[in-house]
Amino acid sequence: MNNMKNFFSLLLITLSLASPSVSQEKTAAKIDTIMPVRGFCIASPQPDNLDKFLRFIKEELAPRNVNTLILRIDYNYQYTSHPELRDSNALSEKDVKMLVSVCRSCNIRIIPQVNLLGHQSWAGTTGNLLKAYPGFDETPLVKMPDKYVWPNADGLYCKSYCPLHPEVHDVVFAVVDEICDVFEADAFHAGMDEVFYIGDKQCPRCSGRDPAELFAAEVRTIRDHLALNGRTLWIWGDRLLDGKTTGLGEWEASFNNTHRAVDMIPRDVIICDWHYERPDQTPVYFAMKGLSVVTCPWRMPENAVLQANDMVKFRNHSTDEMRERFLGMVQTVWSGSEQFLNSYYGIRKEESPNTAVHCFKALFDEIARLAK
């Protein structure tokens, strides 16, 4: 009798232990089916903010089933290949290994980002690459203003490097390889968004060339370099969309004739398709071109929820060929990571409902709901 009682007790314990894990597994399988990439993109933390950031990964990203972390590094790392490019206060190898270890324990894939081609300056400040190597500047005649305003006579948003400069890739690829190695990464994000300066008529190498061909050639060069180490290239999608015909404008799409590059770049480049003000349906365009795509919201929770639902719909209503190109969603954050965490943890008060913090929460609540 006692044995029988013990048997039933054991059975009950086994069942009560088994049922949550079975349902968790089901949810995990469903979430991977509806949304394979569940991403978060943010500037890498400063060294003195690392602990708070690691806690955020463990306590906020992991429980929400985030599985991809795009970390914008640029020169926030103590590069040994090019120490002259380091920020003055940059992450050490030990800091990075802590990020790698925490993300690995949370099943989060880290994709480091260093802006290539465009975004080599910001407002009135030149970035580290062009500061150390002014010869790489696509538009050396455009001087950085004391007081930056947009619009301005030079059409200066951000500087670009010249993709045809004979020495530029030796420098940037050393940096790319080093950052991918230290992060033990199998993918790299090269940025490449909002490139306004390309094929400048004053550039002795680029003038007169087709901007679409120049852009596509740079994508291919970076992609081929990464492929040597089995790594995949991710880029922002805006230069591949026609801003005029679509009405998407000159920021989230191209007004400078780069958009035909969509047919010239290798098909294994992953497109991060960002639309912050409207839930545009452009993922379909990329998927029909044979390119895999993630949708990236920023600060409008309602749009992010619509975009997540669209992503699921695209996967459900597509051919077998196209379905797997709709990879998922990546929440983007464009403040510094410390600023974001201060808002997230209520240290800094948020005035508007339209912020990256609210958008992040709404997006991942919706993904969890869709996966039930």
Q: Which residues bind Zn ion (CB under 5 A)?
A: 138, 162, 164, 203, 205-206
As given in the structure block, the two tokens for residue 290 are 């044979």
**Toward Zn ion, which CB reaches closer, 209 or 361?**
209
**262 touches 296 (CB < 8 A):** no
As given in the structure block, the two tokens for residue 134 are 């002014």
Give the DSSP letter string of 162-187.
-TT-TTHHHHHHHHHHHHHHHHT-SE
As given in the structure block, the two tokens for residue 31 are 């979430």
Q: What angle do CA 105, 269, 299 make, to 5 degrees?
A: 65
Amino acid at 335: S
CA-atom Rg of the chain in angstroms: 22
Nearest to 117 by CA among 48, 46, 214: 214
Q: Which residues contact 366 (CB under 8 A, 6 or more apart)?
A: 304, 305, 308, 309
**Toward Zn ion, which CB reaches closer, 56 or 136?**
136
**121 touches 204 (CB < 8 A):** no
- Give the C-alpha separation, 348 to 357, whole Å: 11
Q: Which residues contact 273 (CB under 8 A, 6 or more apart)?
A: 237, 282, 283, 286, 293, 294, 295, 296
Nearest to 298 by CA among 242, 236, 226: 236
Other Cβ atoms within 10 Å of 14 Cβ, number: 10
3-state secondary structure of 1: coil
- Give the C-alpha separation, 266 to 179, whole Å: 23
**314 touches 326 (CB < 8 A):** yes
Counted residue by residue, the chain has a size of 372
**Toward Zn ion, which CB reaches closer, 47 or 140?**
140
φ, ψ for residue 112, nearest 5 deg? -75, 150
